[in-house]
Structure 1
């Protein structure tokens, strides 16, 4: 980034070059060795029907400084956002993968429990009392795991939306 003194030197040099490029009869600019102040306007070279002339611009040195500071701050914020969004999306991606693996594992457990329930139903003709309590317990476990899986699926969907 340029400092104020570099901007001033650039403006002074530009003014000097523009002034020297004009014929002696057209010079209406007086050169000074004093430093510019913040309220000074920037001089511009303007083509006026084929002649290069120096005109006073509408931008002051303090406005240039404010623009530079604003751009610097916005650049810093953009870089900060890039860093923070990159790290959060990678950690969220890892969490999503872990939750997906957990859901798959619970799906397998549910399949196993479902097969056990079906087997118990087929075998329930011989001992109905003890089997019915086992079946009730298994049904309760299946229902609990169904609820847990629904909760995990909602969590995975929420995280997926946040990552996008």
Structure 2
């Protein structure tokens, strides 16, 4: 209601200024102390071939109030969007930073695991080489022992024949 009074006072002031700006002979506007109603039209000053005249516009006071309310609503919505997008972008930024840190940490862990696998390969490769050479050596010893056993058998058999 207070804003309606502001609009009506602006309209009244505009009409008064328009009436005062006109020469006395062209005064066709009557000023009143009554309050404007919602259907009233806003007066305008129009230049009609060098003479300023007051005319009724197509804009009513209720249309002005609707426009003001719309602008007010849109301003409020814009402010809410600014606040919500600002907070969501900052939270998105935090989440993004956290994800980047996790990726970096996982990269470091993968590098460490990769180095460990390479080290195990080297160690198992060298140990398998040494293991295979040890196995070959053991096989050789077993074969040598088998030959030695066979030779001992023959010697024992030869001796047992001679003893008979």
Rate the CA distance shift 1:75–1:108 in 2: closer, same or farther, 3 A: same
Rate the CA distance shift 1:65–1:118 in 2: closer, same or farther, 3 A: same
4+ runs deviating over 3 angstroms: 125-164
Measure how far apart 1:92 and its partner are. Answer: 1.4
Measure how far apart 1:149 and its partner are. Answer: 63
Aligned residues: 164
CA distance in 2, matches of 1:141, 1:87: 79
Instruction: Spell out, residue by residue over 1:8-53, the C-alpha distance to the aligned partner (whole angstroms, 9 max, x if none).
Output: 0110111011112211221111222211100000000111111110
Counterpart contact for 1:92–1:163, Cα < 8 Å: no
Could you tell me the TM-score, scaled by structure 2's length? 0.73
Rate the CA distance shift 1:159–1:81 in 2: closer, same or farther, 3 A: farther
Could you tell me the TM-score, scaled by structure 1's length? 0.73
Rate the CA distance shift 1:9–1:150 in 2: closer, same or farther, 3 A: farther
CA distance in 2, matches of 1:110, 1:121: 16
Moved more, 146-155 or 22-31: 146-155
Measure how far apart 1:139 and its partner are. Answer: 34
Q: Give the RMSD, CA atoms, in angstroms.
A: 27.3
Measure how far apart 1:97 and its partner are. Answer: 1.1
CA distance in 2, matches of 1:74, 1:10: 23
Rate the CA distance shift 1:77–1:18 in 2: closer, same or farther, 3 A: same
Measure how far apart 1:123 and its partner are. Answer: 2.2
Counterpart contact for 1:42–1:61, Cα < 8 Å: yes
Q: Which has the higher contact order (CA 8 A, sep 6+)?
A: 1
Unaligned runs of 5+ in 1: none
The answer to whether structure 1 residue 62 and structure 2 residue 51 are counterparts is no
Unaligned runs of 5+ in 2: none
Instruction: Spell out, residue by residue over 1:126-161, the C-alpha distance to the aligned partner (whole angstroms, 9 max, x if none).
Output: 667999999999999999999999999999999999
CA distance in 2, matches of 1:42, 1:106: 70
Rate the CA distance shift 1:29–1:7 in 2: closer, same or farther, 3 A: same
Rate the CA distance shift 1:8–1:127 in 2: closer, same or farther, 3 A: same
Rate the CA distance shift 1:55–1:132 in 2: closer, same or farther, 3 A: farther
